[in-house]
Structure 1
């Protein structure tokens, strides 16, 4: 189950990491709203535990840049519906070069989105696309709510579940994928983070107490994402996080150096529903 409060904590930690990246002279992306979220929440709430402050910026910067490239690619390729599942404090609606015809839906708990909308209003932030925040828990009937908000299941959708799966038990993950599949026309894409081995290792480490506190479930997912997603009808490619960190000039922090490129238990996954030629499986670089 997704806790009604824990995503707000980890969403702030991710915002903190994106703010760190934003301040770098060689930043991979700009996200000036991240600092606004942290200021509104307060330093104590927005700063992750010391155990995570070295690894988190590198991991978040890498995955953010990777999925930015993926979403740019699929929308240039013609997809006009984007759904962020467990959107948290994501600001892609405001910073990516969307087509004016793109409809972007952000799903998260009422608590998270209420905080987010308040900060966005104070900042006078204007979305580049047609943005629809949808306050709903992903254990509720979110597919019905999403379609009522305007999603057309007859047209391809670009789904993003960045950092979401750790908050779900394995049965809930399977239900989520089933629901996504039912709403995905041929040519739809799915992108997600997949790191069950790393999360289980962290859960037994000293920092694991923090993950338990914020509702991380350590789901017992299969070791490799491609066969698992294939059972749900997706043709998937798993991209090694360590390799992507090198590609994006973000050397893995010490907590990520337990593995080498090609042997990671942390993946950035992109997948498509067969039935339409796709040219956006592997972001460039």
Structure 2
């Protein structure tokens, strides 16, 4: 695992979701009751230590110094995706979570739906997820299927088909916090694979702004830039090109959400005094 730094990032967003669950319900930016339990023991202990609101506020402020606004972005993007999945629930036949990591969306969705849910990730994260599910739930929900895949080398549709996926399924694809870790070639290969998705399928994904990747705008996060760009993060998009980019693969952009949209939709209604960042955006599209 030491040689696979991208796999190590699977826990970070889930720790944020777990800490958010310590907030009163009306103040939560994302509501994930499984997040803490899917984390390793030492991280669960850290989350539990943040129950006092004062300590939690200090911790969030410390995280914000690395990337101003990213706490809200990383939690609100989960809410953005979950909200769209809820809205589409009656119109889809399957869910595919690309780069699922330790995210619990699949297991939580399986509580209220019997449609097949495919969680796709690197083998090391698939093994982690299987172990966590056994520990927390006793076993994976019957509708959840774990799919080990290397986005840089493996064919997505072939691998999914081996686990029961059918291109006739109207599918809700989740691609959260993944694209920046891939090469441009792998991003294009993934979207090429999704060309075969049935009309009416949906795609909710996030992306980092290209000007952060190329270094022309650090978005107030020089420390983060030094840590990740050209080491972990490789791919970015310009917000104004997303619609055309997706159209090239047969998708129609429905909406995008950046700093102002996330602030107005989630942060302000929760009464939270948190900044948001334009470094990362969330997008939602439909297959034509």
Q: TM-score range by the shorter chain?
A: 0.7 to 0.9
The equivalent residue for 2:249 is: 232
**C-alpha contact 1:240 1:268 (8 A) present in aligned 2:** yes
- Structure 1: which 5+ runs fail to align? 257-263, 275-285
| Structure 1 segment 58-137 matched on structure 2, within 5 A | 58-76=72-90, 78-96=91-109, 99-124=112-137, 130-137=143-150
The equivalent residue for 2:172 is: 158
**C-alpha contact 2:21 2:32 (8 A) present in aligned 1:** yes
The answer on 1:193 being equivalent to 2:193 is no
Distance 1:222 1:239, change over 3 A: closer
The equivalent residue for 2:265 is: 247
The equivalent residue for 2:31 is: 30
By how many angstroms is 1:175 displaced? 1.4
* Partner deviation per Cα, 1:172-223 (whole Å, 9 max, x = no partner): 21111111112x0111111111232464244981222322486221x25344
Q: After the TM superposition, which of the residue ranges 189-198 and 85-94 deviates more from structure 2?
A: 189-198
RMSD over aligned Cα atoms: 3.1
What TM-score, normalized to structure 1? 0.80
By how many angstroms is 1:99 displaced? 4.7
d(CA) in 2 for partners of 1:86, 1:234: 20
The answer on 1:15 being equivalent to 2:33 is no
d(CA) in 1 for partners of 2:31, 2:276: 25
Distance 1:40 1:141, change over 3 A: farther
**C-alpha contact 2:72 2:276 (8 A) present in aligned 1:** no
What TM-score, normalized to structure 2? 0.79
By how many angstroms is 1:229 displaced? 0.6
**C-alpha contact 1:108 1:137 (8 A) present in aligned 2:** yes
d(CA) in 2 for partners of 1:238, 1:198: 21
Aligned to 1:207, what secondary structure does the other structure show? helix
**C-alpha contact 2:37 2:44 (8 A) present in aligned 1:** no
**C-alpha contact 1:83 1:104 (8 A) present in aligned 2:** yes
Q: Hey, which bits of structure 1, 4+ residues long, moved more than 6 A? A: 43-49
Aligned to 1:133, what secondary structure does the other structure show? strand
